[in-house]
Structure 1
Amino acid sequence: MSTQVRRALTGSLSTTSPAITGVARLLSVHPRTLQRKLAAEGASFEAILDEVRRDAAHRYLTTTDLPLGQVTALVGFTEQSTLSHAVRRWYGASPRELRRTAQHPAPGSRTELSR
């Protein structure tokens, strides 16, 4: 079930509000049933949503030059400050710092070594 939720969120993150009711509707289950099934797998809707947003934000920030406002919308946030707080929590850096690090990796870093 967590894989299905992840796919549903990934496919709809930038187009609809990422709410459990919408995902449950897409999967043809009641929201409470979805919560129970996820709990049985040791997962939660909120944790999966956070993972999907984290992965999408990282991808957009490190592989595109999209404005931060657009990245904010694409990962399902309504405020750019929310994106900034989340990226700082996930990566310990601001969105701009994360982007700059990806574009100009430090010598000897994992990214630099893979070049």
Structure 2
Amino acid sequence: MFETLRPRLVRHTDESGRELFDVEGAPLPDEVRRRVCHGAAVAATVLFDGTVAASWTRTSTSGTAGIDLCPFRALTGAQRSAVESEALRLLAFTDPGSEHRITWSPTE
């Protein structure tokens, strides 16, 4: 079955020389990869439709636990609400006795 799709796919080669396939016009993940991969470490990320849309970090000060979000692209109001809701659920689990705070950096 794959061989029937091969003529319609764009071919790339990775750093190891392996052949990679993609659909025509699909964005390459290289810029996002540079932003979230630091050596062997990978930043905490937010996914929408299978693509990285933002990174996040957890913060804590006396009595307040927070999540700082850094979007990589513009997010819809519904997407931002979904991220904030999930972040608040995470903080309720990790810091149940603290005040919770969500902050957004400007879109990069």
Q: What is the TM-score when the length of structure 2 is the normalising length? A: 0.31
Name the one with the larger strand percent. 2
User: With structure 1 as the length reference, what TM-score do the two structures score?
Assistant: 0.30
